[in-house]
């Protein structure tokens, strides 16, 4: 059974006070939202402990935005699985295009991070997606299949979420047409051995397009950046009407 997931990716936004403020406002209005959807907030490392306490006893799950493949070691600036688990983290984004683009993340390191997440009992949210240039050159399908092939080597598909995030649609306000996102997500599913993997769409998901996106048969939810930062917007997203 594919789980429906709405995950917020706060990227490098919010101090602890801002995070708590947003969360309290959000939680105050969460009650009427149907229980059939998983709600995840992937916060910056510095806000994880604060959010973990605030989320205790609620239905909202905590996520991180990166994980190193070793349990500990001389890796300045990195964070490990046991450190995240210690803070009550359940999900972790791996291979976001911003990590691939600006921080030298490769399919090989994405694969290491994915397997580490699983080894430490976390659920990885693997991001794949093409650039505008790759799309215009007709390379989208090959690129995505290639990413999946390398990223998923020896990965347990029973504890995995995938997000299709076309790079040109991230933070640009330019959403991929819902039908096109559905087509690519269908292609992603065809490359998997487990038909029950939840596959999300990400890239300029907003209150005004969430319902159309979720209505697509292959799309199991959304990974949301900008619109997950404000309580009103994020509430509307988790309250999608299908």
Residues marked as catalytic = 96, 165
Q: Work out which of 60, 161, 213, 224 binds ligand PGA, going by CB under 6 A.
A: 224
Cβ neighbours of residue 106 closer than 8 Å, sequence gap 6 or more: 100
- Is residue 203 at the binding interface for ligand PGA, with CB under 6 A as the rule? yes
Residue 221 in contact with ligand PGA, rule: CB under 6 A: no
Q: Which of 107, 130, 151, 165 binds ligand PGA (CB under 6 A)?
A: 165
Note whether 130 binds ligand PGA by CB under 6 A.
no
For residues 79 and 67, the answer to whether their CB atoms sit within 8 Å is: yes
Q: Which residue matches tokens 């030298």?
A: 104
Residue placing its CB nearer to ligand PGA in the complex, 1 or 26: 26
Contact 199, 222 (CB under 8 A): no
Token pair belonging to 159: 């504890």
- Please tell me whether residue 204 binds ligand PGA under the rule CB under 6 A: yes
Please select the residue that binds ligand PGA; options are 6, 9, 66, 79, rule is CB under 6 A.
9
Q: Which stretch binds ligand PGA (CB under 6 A): 23-31, 77-85, 180-188, 220-228?
A: 220-228
* 225 scored as a contact of ligand PGA (CB under 6 A): yes
Nearest alpha-carbon partner for 127 in 4, 9, 3, 207: 9
Does 231 sit near ligand PGA (CB under 6 A)? Answer: no
Q: Is 107 helix (H, G, I), strand (E, B) or coil?
A: helix
Q: What are phi and psi of 78, to 5 degrees?
A: -100, 170
Q: Which of 63, 81, 124, 202 binds ligand PGA (CB under 6 A)?
A: 202
Shortest Cβ 165–ligand PGA spacing (Å): 6
- Pairwise CA distance, residues 15 & 19, whole Å: 6
Judge whether 189 and 195 are in contact, CB under 8 Å.
yes
Chain positions contacting ligand PGA, by CB under 6 A = 9, 165, 170-171, 202-205, 223-227
């Amino acid at each position: 059974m594919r789980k429906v997931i709405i995950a917020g990716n706060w990227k490098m936004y919010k101090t602890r006070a801002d995070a708590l403020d947003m969360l309290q406002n959000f939680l105050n209005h969460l009650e009427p939202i149907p229980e059939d959807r998983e709600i995840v907030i992937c916060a910056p490392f510095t806000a994880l402990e604060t959010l973990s306490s605030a989320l205790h006893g609620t239905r909202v799950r905590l996520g991180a935005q990166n994980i190193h493949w070793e349990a500990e070691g001389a890796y300045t600036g990195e964070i490990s699985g046991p450190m995240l688990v210690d803070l009550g983290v359940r999900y972790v984004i791996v291979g976001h295009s911003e990590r691939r683009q600006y921080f030298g993340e490769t399919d090989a390191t994405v694969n290491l991070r994915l397997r580490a997440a699983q080894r430490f009992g976390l659920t990885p949210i693997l991001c794949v997606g093409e650039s505008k240039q790759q799309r215009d050159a007709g390379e989208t399908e090959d690129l995505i299949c290639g990413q999946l092939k390398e990223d998923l080597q020896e990965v347990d598909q029973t504890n995995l979420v995938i997000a299709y995030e076309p790079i040109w649609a991230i933070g640009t306000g330019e959403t991929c047409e819902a039908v096109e996102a559905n087509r690519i997500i269908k292609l992603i599913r065809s490359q998997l051995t487990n038909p029950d993997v939840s596959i999300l769409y990400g890239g300029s998901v907003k209150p005004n397009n969430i319902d159309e996106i979720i209505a697509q048969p292959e799309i199991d939810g959304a990974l949301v950046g900008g619109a997950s930062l404000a309580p009103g917007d994020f509430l509307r997203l988790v309250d999608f009407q299908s």
